Amino acid sequence: MDAEKGAPRLVIGLTGPNAAGKGEVAEHLRRRGFEIHSLSDIVREEAARRGLPPEREHLIRIGNLLRREGGAGVLAGRILPRLRGRAVVDSIRSPAEVAVLRGLPRFLLLGVRASEELRFQRSLARGRPGDPATLEEFRARERQENAVDPSGQKLDETFLLADCQVSNDAGLEELRRAVDRVLAGLEETPRGSLD
């Protein structure tokens, strides 16, 4: 696709468990000139249309409903028209979403990981509405996000599809350095070789 006509040149998809640091990676990539999009924004927009608050439990339910109605890759399909130039797609939670995005000329799926305890502590610290208050609730929510329902989220399966991974156990500076190493590798990769 021709970047000068507004089509995507490079799209980096982000996947990983809750509070692993995907938002930090997205923000770092924004500073590197990427436009940021999130599949969660599609779900939030739909929740708002239906008059529901943007709490995680509602968003999971709406996302699953959209997948049942429009197919497992529907969220990625809805984001495609928004992608221009160098772009990031955050919150990829389904192998079908990956399949849709792999239809782009140059797409890389980046997995962001961190330990469960650290992710739980980060979740508590950010204090988003509807986030679990206990470690057991946090674990239960993660089980919910790896549903056997074909229209549900499949975070673990999606993470296994990542072209590369970065760890967010050692702090933000190390995370940013890891992302920069991935970007440097992409710049050395000939255009069109990422399918």
Q: What is the pLDDT of residue 192?
A: 45
Q: What is the pLDDT of residue 88?
A: 97
Show the low-confidence residues of the chain (pLDDT under 50): 1-5, 191-195
CATH number for the 3-182 domain, one of 3.40.800.20, 3.40.50.720, 3.40.50.300, 3.40.50.1820? 3.40.50.300
Q: What is the pTM assigned to this prediction?
A: 0.84
Q: What is the pLDDT of residue 3?
A: 40
Q: What is the pLDDT of residue 151?
A: 58
Q: What is the pLDDT of residue 4?
A: 42
| Cβ atoms of 83 and 11 closer than 8 Å | yes
Q: What is the pLDDT of residue 62?
A: 92
Q: What is the pLDDT of residue 140?
A: 87
DSSP per position, the chain = --GGGT-EEEEEEEE-STTSSHHHHHHHHHHTT-EEEEHHHHHHHHHHHTT----HHHHHHHHHHHHHHH-TTHHHHHHGGG--EEEEEE----HHHHHHHTTSSSEEEEEEE--HHHHHHHHHHHT-TT--SSHHHHHHHHHHTB-SSTTS-BHHHHHTT-SEEEE-SS-HHHHHHHHHHHHHHHHHSPTT---
Q: What is the pLDDT of residue 126?
A: 87
CB atoms within 10 A of CB 128: 12
| Cβ atoms of 144 and 59 closer than 8 Å | no
